[in-house]
């Protein structure tokens, strides 16, 4: 199972603070590390995550060898059945994992080499499959699929076979027969560790047709107008595009939107200071702004657990820039109606923005 899911390196393992791993030996070493008394240091004491894809500062080098779904809603068992039945209909190769609360679904893929935009491809695949199966995407328990995973090529997920310290259950692979049993039956089975797995189907899902713009998946981003007004009145943010103002107004931005905000500030600043400032000074300005508009817990998570995202985008992943206005619309992240573009965005692109 591990060789099927984690066969490309380097990757990142975390608890959830991330560390690089370069081969399977590094993964096993981390999982099996013990203290001087012979007790496990990591597995069983921390919840352990592993990146779904190989890691690279150049996103075009990431190999989209699987499509992963996270289903935690009250209907998670039925939704997993639906996705399994859809895959079986087309003989798609997949396996299923009970995470301790909900279900993780791994759909194996093909033709993922040389994708022009792996992030956009993954986004389109998530949206297409959810539509085909009849599953909803959003934030909160009323939606079938967690919005945060959609198009996220840096996502980390619980390692099958490890202990979920919060739920007091192991992450275990499940079978088709177990899907037809009750949720509690599966949850009780997860009291015992298991590394056995069953892979269904033989046909890998072709991601190549989704490496393109798919306008049917774009729609104006919904937001709280009262919260937006508070941000819009901030004179410091006067010249920022509407999309960034809307993202800043949201209670939780999450990794994807935070990343775009940071890229914009890295490449263009707030337009109230000269861009010839040293990068460390611009980084501190960015962190100060994020501290003001992020919930304290999300800010702490961003700095301490999520690979120090501002520093990562300022000094490590410098090749990727703020997405085009068209791509933001195609990701459903633009608050403007179709066909409308903001003047700030046009100015940015005219001045050499990506």
pLDDT in tens, 76-99: 999 999 999 999 999 999 999 999
| Residue 140: predicted pLDDT | 76
According to DSSP, the residues that pair with 110 across neighbouring strands are: 206
Residue 28 has pLDDT above 70, yes or no: yes
Other Cβ atoms within 10 Å of 219 Cβ, number: 12
> What number is the average pLDDT over the span 200-224?
85
For 258, list phi and psi in degrees, rounded to 5: -60, -45
122 and 264 share one domain: no
Residue-number span of the structural domain to which 169 is assigned: 2-210
Per the structure, how many domains does the chain have?
A: 2
| Residue 327: predicted pLDDT | 76
176 and 268 share one domain: no
Residue with the bigger pLDDT between 316 and 249: it is: 249
Find out whether 196 and 98 touch, Cβ atoms under 8 Å.
no
CA distance 225 to 229: 6
Place of tokens 């931005």: 253
Other Cβ atoms within 10 Å of 335 Cβ, number: 20
| Residue 90: predicted pLDDT | 98
Find out whether 174 and 97 touch, Cβ atoms under 8 Å.
yes
6 and 124 share one domain: yes
Confidence band for 157, pLDDT divided at 50, 70 and 90:
very high
Find out whether 50 and 157 touch, Cβ atoms under 8 Å.
yes
* Contact residues for 18 (Cβ-Cβ < 8 A; gap 6+): 12, 51, 156, 305, 306, 307
In the listed set 210, 228, 245, which residue is the last one of a domain according to the structure? 210
- 224 CA to centre of own chain: 23
| Residue 216: predicted pLDDT | 65
120 and 8 share one domain: yes
| Residue 106: predicted pLDDT | 98
In the listed set 210, 226, 250, which residue is the last one of a domain according to the structure? 210
In the listed set 155, 186, 210, which residue is the last one of a domain according to the structure? 210
State pTM to two decimals. 0.77
51 and 180 share one domain: yes
| Residue 344: predicted pLDDT | 55
| Residue 272: predicted pLDDT | 47
| Residue 238: predicted pLDDT | 74
Place of tokens 């085909």: 132
* Contact residues for 190 (Cβ-Cβ < 8 A; gap 6+): 98, 100, 169, 170, 171, 172
Confidence band for 354, pLDDT divided at 50, 70 and 90:
very low
CA distance 83 to 99: 16
Please report the beta strands in 86-209, taking only residues with DSSP state E, as ranges in sequence order: 94-98, 103-110, 137-138, 145-146, 156-158, 163-164, 169-170, 172-174, 205-206
* Overall residue count recorded for the chain in this entry: 354
Residue 219 has pLDDT above 80, yes or no: no
Q: What is the three-state SS of 64-121?
A: CCEEEEEECCCCHHHHHHHHHHHHHHCCECEEEEECCCCEEEEEEEECCCCCCCHHHH
CA distance 31 to 185: 27
Lowest mean pLDDT across 5-9, 91-95, 149-153, 233-237: 233-237
Other Cβ atoms within 10 Å of 327 Cβ, number: 18
41 and 147 share one domain: yes
Residue 241 has pLDDT above 90, yes or no: no
Confidence band for 315, pLDDT divided at 50, 70 and 90:
confident
166 and 293 share one domain: no
43 and 116 share one domain: yes
Q: How many helices and strands (H and E) does the chain possess?
A: 14, 13
Confidence band for 70, pLDDT divided at 50, 70 and 90:
very high
Buried b (16+ CB within 10 A) or exposed e, 168-207: ebbbbbbeeebbeeeeeebeebbeeeeeebeeebeebbeb
Q: How far apart are the first and last CA of the chain?
A: 39
Lowest mean pLDDT across 110-119, 127-136, 209-218, 268-277: 268-277
pLDDT in tens, 281-304: 888 888 888 999 998 988 988 888
Confidence band for 277, pLDDT divided at 50, 70 and 90:
low
79 and 26 share one domain: yes
Residue with the bigger pLDDT between 144 and 251: it is: 144
Cα torsion angle, 255, 259, 260, 261, sign: positive
242 and 136 share one domain: no
264 and 172 share one domain: no
Residue with the bigger pLDDT between 42 and 147: it is: 42
Confidence band for 217, pLDDT divided at 50, 70 and 90:
low
177 and 260 share one domain: no
pLDDT in tens, 32-55: 999 999 999 998 888 999 999 999
Residues above pLDDT 90, as percent of the chain: 49
Find out whether 269 and 285 touch, Cβ atoms under 8 Å.
yes
> What number is the average pLDDT over the span 138-142?
80
């Amino acid at each position: 199972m591990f060789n099927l899911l984690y066969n490309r390196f380097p990757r990142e393992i975390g608890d959830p603070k991330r560390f690089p791993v370069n081969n399977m030996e590094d993964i096993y070493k981390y999982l099996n590390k013990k203290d001087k008394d012979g007790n496990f240091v990591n597995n069983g004491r921390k919840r352990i995550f592993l990146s779904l894809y190989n890691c690279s500062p150049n996103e075009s080098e990431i190999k989209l060898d699987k499509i992963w779904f996270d289903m935690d809603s009250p209907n998670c068992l039925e939704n997993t059945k639906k996705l399994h039945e859809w895959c079986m209909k087309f003989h798609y190769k997949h396996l299923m994992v009970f995470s301790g609360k909900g279900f993780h679904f791994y759909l194996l893929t093909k033709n993922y080499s040389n994708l022009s935009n792996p992030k956009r491809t993954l986004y389109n695949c998530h949206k297409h499959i959810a539509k085909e199966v009849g599953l909803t995407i959003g934030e909160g328990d009323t939606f079938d699929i967690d919005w945060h995973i959609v198009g996220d090529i840096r996502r980390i997920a619980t390692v099958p076979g490890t202990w979920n310290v919060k739920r007091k259950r192991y992450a275990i692979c499940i079978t088709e027969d177990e899907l037809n049993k009750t949720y509690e039956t599966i949850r009780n089975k997860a009291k015992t560790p298991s590394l056995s797995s069953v892979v269904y189907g033989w046909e890998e899902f072709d991601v190549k047709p989704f490496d393109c713009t798919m306008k049917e998946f774009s729609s104006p981003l919904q937001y709280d107008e009262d919260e937006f007004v508070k941000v819009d009145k901030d004179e410091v943010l006067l010249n920022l595009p509407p999309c960034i103002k809307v993202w800043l107004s949201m209670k939780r931005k999450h990794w994807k939107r935070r990343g775009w905000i940071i890229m914009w500030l890295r490449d263009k600043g707030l337009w109230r200071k000269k861009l010839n400032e040293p990068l460390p000074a611009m980084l501190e300005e960015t962190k100060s702004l994020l501290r003001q508009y992020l919930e304290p817990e999300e800010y702490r998570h961003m700095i301490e657990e999520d690979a120090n995202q501002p520093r990562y985008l300022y000094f490590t992943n410098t090749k990727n820039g703020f997405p085009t206005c068209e791509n933001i619309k195609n990701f459903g992240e633009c608050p403007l109606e179709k066909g409308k573009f903001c003047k700030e965005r046009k100015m940015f692109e005219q001045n050499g923005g990506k």
